[in-house]
Structure 1
Amino acid sequence: MTCGNAVDKLGGYEKIIGYAFANRDYLIQALTHRSASPVHYERLEFLGDSILGVIIADELYHRFSKVGEGDLTRMRSTLVRESTLAEIARGFNLSEYLIMGPGELKSGGFRRESILADVVEATLAAVYLDSGRNFEKVRELVQTWFAEKLRTVHPGFDQKDPKTQLQEYLQGRHQSLPVYRVVSITGEDHNQQFTVNLECTFIKETLVGYGSTRRGAEQNAAQKALDLIHARRAGAKD
């Protein structure tokens, strides 16, 4: 949260992610938002994004030896997309360790999926650098962090993005398609936050999605609609 509190708790974060840093400066940078310091996570996120993409692609390539490029690409997208990384971040209680300026804290930046996802990638890059560019060490962490998701991912419908899944679900039941409306855009150009309302007669309520792009916010809202539909179906079966 604030700089002092977050630094005091670094050991807890190391225990959760499964890696102890020799040089905690890398970890501090990975957890620091630009609102708190000129030395922040964005460069590390750039590196971590590429490292994660390679590791996930390699895992899928060897796990699914008979699957074509199209399904492999969709599975990779499912595993590395913002919402998936944010889910992993929430499993780490990452918001408790973020280092942010007062304004960003007040605006709820510690809950923002785009920030949570970026910091997961920045953390991977920090481990890579701290370990002397030990790619295998980072691979071990990714295999652990993504173990359940790698176990359950498979070719087919589930790899379609949430908007497409929702559209096909509704079309299959001859229902009207959802309407997405941008209700706010906040933040500076380099770090915008979009808020989108999803309205759908089939669901009969307005759902709110957030993202660093309009598309991301729409996808977030669509995923919430799918989660609600699945929850109601499961409840109806009980």
Structure 2
Amino acid sequence: MNAFDHLQDRIAYHFQDLSLLRQALTHRSAAALHNERLEFLGDAALNFVVAARLYSRFPRGSEGDLSRMRARLVREETLAQVAEAIAVADALILGAGELRSGGARRASIRADAVEAIIGAAYLDGGMTAVETIVDHLIVPLITDTLGAEELRDPKTRLQEFLQGKGRALPSYELVEEKGQAHERRFVARCSVEGMPATEAEDSSRRKAEQGAAQLMLAQLQSRLGGQRHVG
């Protein structure tokens, strides 16, 4: 059994047209007919199927919650881990330069190959083929733990983030109320020591505070995400 056969077993889908699988595994360094167009197609198909599965799994999830979960599942890091689990590197077709530089070990190349395989499967067997592969490789990663983490409200996530960094907790204040009684709008501010304050507007004070907390969390993750607190 060759590397292609082993890979097809691991993805739970066998191609009718093996040339599509070969192209999906061919890096641009190896041939003119490479996998980048298939990667483009596979990215779109993967995003759609993952979105559909998340929509069904988390009926209370907001658009933002579902988008964040999808992003986590289709990001390069996750797809590279999937590629390692199914030993994509064993079947990759690389040019001489990439082989010498260890291209098969590069996360980006392995993740791109997974997307390209999904794109090739779409051309080979339609969305049914895509769903077969995604349900086998990605859907098992959709756990209640993933949902619980993403569906916690922004104020809770901000508090936990700050506690994890050993920083003081945030404070909130109502900056402004505007509009008529039947269409009231609230502007809330979130303050964290050492950071620019964030403000958000919504139809209730609670929602405005949540929005300000979400903006602050994004700001903190961008600035402090890689730092570790030593207590």
Q: TM-score, normalization: structure 2? A: 0.65
Match of 1:114 in 2: 108
Picking from 92, 101, 108, the partner of 1:98 is: 92
Q: What is the alpha-carbon root mean square deviation over aligned residues?
A: 3.0
Q: Distance in 2 between matches of 1:97 and 1:169?
A: 44
* Alpha-carbon distance, 1:12 to partner: 1.3
**Does the alignment pair 1:71 with 2:61?**
no
* Alpha-carbon distance, 1:78 to partner: 0.5
Whether the aligned pair in 2 keeps the contact of 1:72 and 1:155 (CA below 8 Å) is no
Whether the aligned pair in 2 keeps the contact of 1:22 and 1:130 (CA below 8 Å) is yes
Alignment of 1:123-142 (within 5 A): 123-131=117-125, 134-142=126-134
Residue identity opposite 2:140 in structure 1: E
* Alpha-carbon distance, 1:171 to partner: 5.8
Alignment of 1:22-101 (within 5 A): 22-101=16-95
Q: Distance in 1 between matches of 2:14 and 2:65?
A: 36
SS in 1 for 2:71: helix
CA distance 1:69–1:157, change in 2 (3 Å): closer
CA deviation profile, 1:27-47 (whole Å, cap 9, x unmatched): 000000011100111000000
Q: Distance in 2 between matches of 1:149 and 1:171?
A: 25
Alignment of 1:157-236 (within 5 A): 168=161, 172-174=165-167
Residue identity opposite 1:66 in structure 2: R
Q: Distance in 2 between matches of 1:8 and 1:38?
A: 24
Q: Distance in 1 between matches of 2:57 and 2:148?
A: 11
CA distance 1:158–1:35, change in 2 (3 Å): farther
Gaps of 5+ in 2: 169-221
CA deviation profile, 1:103-143 (whole Å, cap 9, x unmatched): 10111110111111111010011111111xx2123112211
**Does the alignment pair 1:145 with 2:145?**
no
Residue identity opposite 1:47 in structure 2: L
Residue identity opposite 2:129 in structure 1: K
Q: Distance in 1 between matches of 2:14 and 2:132?
A: 14
Whether the aligned pair in 2 keeps the contact of 1:21 and 1:27 (CA below 8 Å) is yes
Q: Distance in 1 between matches of 2:115 and 2:103?
A: 17
Match of 1:10 in 2: 4
* Alpha-carbon distance, 1:51 to partner: 0.3
CA deviation profile, 1:35-84 (whole Å, cap 9, x unmatched): 11001110000000000001111111111111111111110111000000
CA deviation profile, 1:145-199 (whole Å, cap 9, x unmatched): 123211242143599xxxx99x936863249xxxxxxxxxxxxxxxxxxxxxxxx
**Bigger-Rg structure (1/2):** 2
Q: Distance in 2 between matches of 1:18 and 1:67?
A: 30
Q: Distance in 1 between matches of 2:118 and 2:104?
A: 19
Q: Distance in 1 between matches of 2:127 and 2:121?
A: 9
Q: Distance in 1 between matches of 2:130 and 2:150?
A: 30
Q: Distance in 2 between matches of 1:106 and 1:54?
A: 36
Q: Distance in 2 between matches of 1:61 and 1:93?
A: 30
Instruction: Figure out how many residues of one structure are paired with residues of the other and give that number.
Output: 168
